[in-house]
Amino acid sequence: MLECPRCLGLWLNPAAFEKICADREQQAVFLGAASLDPSSHPAFDPKVNYVPCPECHQLMNRANFARCSGIIIDLCKKHGIWFDRDELSRIIEFIQAGGMDVARSKEKAALEEERRRLREEQMSSDFQRAGGLSSADSHGRITGIASAGGLLKLLLH
């Protein structure tokens, strides 16, 4: 871990960050050291700044932690993660408040919806190749046929 004395940002390698995310004792250390004085927080800067990785000097990617936290982190997939002042403590608070469970639920729902959509498209494509309905009629009828087929399977088994 490296800390910038000027901006109070932190640099962590991926293994250290994973350990902090998984270990409540490590989280307590970082929460205890976090500044709770709102006047000490830097003013929000709407300008997006890409920062270089301290190790390879390539510009890092920006990502919303857990895709839904609202905490934007800078990361180099090979070397580590840069946290602006108080971002790590905000991530720990997000984790402790159950944010990772919410993120997993959202991701699971999105994957299930995508699977459902792909199955529906596949059924529609298969039906049309077999000389089925015109594309204008196929979507509604395929869905009805699939639903009826599922109901028959449920009733007969």
Distance, in Å, from the CA atom of 56 to the CA atom of 76, rounded to the nearest integer, reads 9
Strand 61-64 to strand 10-12: parallel, antiparallel, or no bridges (unpaired)?
A: unpaired
> Which amino acid, one-letter code, is at 44?
F
Q: Report the mean per-residue pLDDT for the chain.
A: 79
**Is pLDDT of 144 > 80?**
no
Contact 34, 73 (CB under 8 A): no
Cα dist. 91→38, 53, 77, 86, 141 in Å?
Answer: 17, 20, 18, 9, 47
**What are the boundaries of each domain within the chain?**
2-97, 111-156
Backbone angle region of 57, left / alpha / beta, with phi > 0 → left and psi within -120 to 50 → alpha: left
| Ordered DSSP codes for 67-110 | GTS--EEEEETTTEEEE-TTHHHHHHHHHHTTHHHHHHHHHHHH
pLDDT at position 42 over 80 = no
Looking at the whole model, is its pTM more than 0.75?
no
pLDDT for 62: 95
pLDDT of residue 35: 46
At residue 79, what are phi and psi to the nearest 5 degrees?
A: -115, -30
For residue 148 the two structure tokens come to 């009826």
73, 82 contact by CB (below 8 A): yes
The pLDDT value recorded for residue 143 is 53
User: pLDDT digit string (tens) for 1-40?
Assistant: 888 888 888 899 998 888 888 877 777 776 655 544 444 4
pLDDT in the model for residue 56: 95
